[in-house]
Amino acid sequence: MTRTVLITGATSGIGAAAARRFVSEGWKVVGTGRRKDRLDALASELPEGTFYGAAFDVCDRSSTEAALNALPAEFADIDVLLNNAGLALGTVPAQQASVEDWQLMIETNITALVSITHRLLPRLIERKGMIINLSSTAATYPYTGGNVYAGTKAFVHQFSLGLRSDLHGTGVRVTSIEPGMVETEFTVVRTKGNKAASDDLYAGSHPLTGDDIADMIYWTASLPPHVNINTLETMPVSQSFAGFQVARDL
Ligand code: NDP
Ligand code: 8X3
């Protein structure tokens, strides 16, 4: 039986790689994102009938609802919800950060994610489906400038575990995927278009790729139905942990 995954944020990075991976494994994919041209390009690249693009802003509740209501019948039976759409904005300490950036991260990474999850839960329960959420190593390991972004990802981690508990006995699986550095458009977005800063960050570091994370996402989804991966934390070998900082003479 062909299964269907709905991937938020399929226009680039991890979401686009996951869309290609699921289709290559015989799944149908509903891919979302604001950039309709990217969704159209993905639809043309993939075999006919395997990909349906739904262009909407996840922060706009009525567009989200309209898009989900308008899914064609052959893509409407969602088995897996991959909550991937998200962003970081800014790398400066809290005391220099923009509150508008903070609000947009909270709206995208938390409010939209819980709203779409709530909307699809009845169908996922009916189909004994699965929810895969994109958290981050930032949920666990603080770094300067991570502030609200890291907080949103800590929410995603804990929400995922809470869902596991609430969905006890339904057969619905829930996984929190928690990567470190993955080279995507993430840093271009975070720096508001500074491609050079993004290139500098990843240069020579052999970061994880969208395809690496798509492999892990697909693996969690393809395990037998009695197996649940609660959290999956991953980093490139080139990335690890640093110590605490100490201020003198305060
Ligand atoms: P990209 O910037 O490459 O992709 C982000 C995706 O999210 C895009 O498809 C974008 O679509 C979508 N998106 C963002 N805001 C909205 C919105 N308001 N409405 C609809 N879609 C939106 O980044 P990644 O692939 O790296 O990020 C994917 C997820 O992985 C994010 O949740 C991120 O926090 C997480 N992550 C990333 C890591 C990394 O190092 N790259 C590490 C750990 C976690 P569009 O712009 O077309 O709307
Ligand atoms: C993305 C990884 O380290 O930039 O979530 O926060 S990091």
Q: What is the CATH number of the domain that holds 178?
A: 3.40.50.720
For tokens 């039986």, name the residue.
Answer: 1
* Catalytic hit among 52, 141, 143, 149: 149
Strand locations in the chain (E): 4-7, 28-33, 51-55, 80-83, 130-134, 173-179, 182-183, 208-209, 231-234
Is the pTM value of this prediction over 0.85? yes
**Of 118, 111, 140, 120, which Cα lies nearest the Cα of 232?**
140
**Is residue 246 situated within a structural domain?**
no
**Is residue 247 situated within a structural domain?**
no
**Is residue 102 situated within a structural domain?**
yes
**Is residue 242 situated within a structural domain?**
no
Q: What average pLDDT does the segment 53-75 reach?
A: 98
Residue minimizing CA distance to atom 2 of ligand 2: 180
pLDDT at 1: 84
Indicate which ligand has the atom closest to the C-alpha of 184.
1
**Is residue 239 situated within a structural domain?**
no
Indicate which ligand has the atom closest to the C-alpha of 177.
1
Instruction: Examine the residue annotation and report whether 141 is marked as an active-site residue of this protein.
Output: no
Q: Say yes or no: CB of residue 145 within 6 Å of ligand 2.
A: no
- Count of beta carbons in the 10 Å neighbourhood of residue 131: 24
**Is residue 120 situated within a structural domain?**
yes
pLDDT digits (tens, 9 = 90+) for 163-193: 999 999 999 999 999 999 999 999 999 999 9
Residue 196: which pLDDT band, with cuts at 50, 70 and 90? Answer: very high
Residue 236 DSSP symbol? -
**Is residue 15 situated within a structural domain?**
yes
Q: What average pLDDT does the segment 67-80 reach?
A: 98
The total number of structural domains in the chain stands at: 1
**Is residue 117 situated within a structural domain?**
yes
pLDDT, the chain, mean: 98
Structural domain of residue 128, as residue ranges? 4-234
**The pLDDT of residue 243 is above 90:** no
